[in-house]
Amino acid sequence: MRTCNGNTGVMELFEKGKVVKICAPMVRYSKLAFRTLVRKYNCDICFTPMIVAADFMRSTKARDSEFTTNERDRPLIVQFAAHDAQTLADAACVVAPFSDGVDLNCGCPQRWAMSAGYGACLIKKPELVKDMVRLVRNQVDNPKYTASIKIRIHKDLRKTVDLCQKAESAGVSWITVHGRTAEERHQPVHYDAIKTIKDSVSVPVIANGDIKYLEDVESTYQVTGVDGVMVARGLLANPAMFAGYNDTPLECIWDWVDISIEQGTPFTCFHHHLIYMLERVSSQPERKVFNSLSSTSAVIDYLQNTYGSVDDLGTSPC
């Protein structure tokens, strides 16, 4: 893999006075092809899917399959799951020439991650998080390379504030806050908690959770004062969301087809993304037909017959 000479000054994005728009780390979904797509529609920073640092360091096969990028894939943050400082720092050193920062996952609530000592269980170990951030900053030989964390909140918010302030003292670059506890799934996001955290640290804070439209970006900023927003499902449903579209425009759908073919995206991934993109703009009978398609050529024929090409309809929403 060649070293990418991309923009390594990620922190400069937070100094421009606008809300930074970020594509979240999503298992199976926030891979190179999808990152390429959302970058065309005003996404400022992209994350890789979460990678288990120990596996990444142990296996060449894991490194080749889990981390794929190119020279246009910037700014890029690599998210790792880890539970010891040295492994995280070693992984950061491996990916540093090809990315702009690493992020420690302290928010994944899945049982397998928690039982392995990864994800949201780390919010209960602020000293360990502090050590992990500090070692990454000390070992990566690039002062512009970022070390960030993505967290969930405690029921007792004082513990979350303590965690964030400890991470700040260790040199954390920014903090992404998913405004729910590890036990909460679909409950409303605690925007008041995100605001409290923002007011408690001087590093940039990113809000995450339930942002589905561009107007939600502005309302979240107004309520919390955060420096940026991170979006997952909202971008799956509409990769052009940050460009102001309420639903996926036809141009974006055909962009995804072109990118997927160019990069050799496996059919299942290619198809699943389109299922998400078309969910808001197609009827239930149409979705039933589309979801049953089993080849790239069948998908392309369906899209052309149902929606037309970009040449037919310009960039109008489907």
Contact 292, 233 (CB under 8 A): no
What is the token pair recorded at 257? Answer: 């087809």
75 assigned binding-site residue: no
Q: What is the DSSP letter of 214?
A: H
25 assigned binding-site residue: yes
Contact 139, 131 (CB under 8 A): no
186 assigned binding-site residue: no
Q: How far is residue 159's CA from residue 220's CA, in Å, rounded to a whole number? A: 23
Q: What is the DSSP letter of 144?
A: T
27 assigned binding-site residue: yes
Q: What are phi and psi of 247, to 5 degrees?
A: -130, 165
Contact 29, 236 (CB under 8 A): yes
Q: How far is residue 58's CA from residue 67's CA, in Å, rounded to a whole number? A: 14
C-alpha gyration radius of the chain: 20
Contact 286, 306 (CB under 8 A): yes
Whole-angstrom CA distances from 59 to 53, 62, 90, 91, 136 are 10, 5, 13, 12, 21
233 assigned binding-site residue: yes
Q: How far is residue 258's CA from residue 275's CA, in Å, rounded to a whole number? A: 16
Candidates 108, 164, 252, 318; catalytic one: 108
- Is 108 tagged catalytic? yes
- Residues at the binding site for FMN are 25-27, 79, 178, 232-233
- Residues at the binding site are 25-27, 79, 178, 232-233
Residues annotated as catalytic are: 108
